[in-house]
């Protein structure tokens, strides 16, 4: 039951290839965003409720065609 290992590997490779194709500026922004998220979630003395952090979708560009 579940997704075959090869399918997982193919999905991970497509995601990695997409991120790599976006260039260095995107990788830096992605890294900084994840770092801010981790710091807020785990370094805060109080627990942040899941879903409480806001994602700025206006600043994010998603190109579904890039993965194909």
Instruction: Return d(Cα 35, Cα 37) in angstroms, integer.
Output: 5
DSSP helix/strand/coil, 44: coil
- For 4-63, the pLDDT digits (tens) are 899 999 999 999 898 889 888 888 888 899 899 888 887 766 665 655 656 666 665 655
Q: Are 67 and 22 in contact (CB under 8 A)?
A: no
Predicted local distance difference test score (pLDDT) of residue 67: 47
Predicted local distance difference test score (pLDDT) of residue 11: 93
Predicted local distance difference test score (pLDDT) of residue 44: 62
């Amino acid at each position: 039951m579940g997704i075959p290992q090869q399918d997982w590997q193919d999905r991970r490779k497509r995601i990695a290839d997409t991120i790599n194709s976006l260039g260095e500026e995107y990788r830096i922004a992605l890294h900084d965003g994840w770092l801010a998220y981790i710091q807020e979630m785990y370094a805060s003395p109080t627990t942040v409720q899941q879903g409480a952090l806001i994602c700025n979708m206006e600043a994010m560009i998603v190109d579904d065609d890039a993965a194909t």
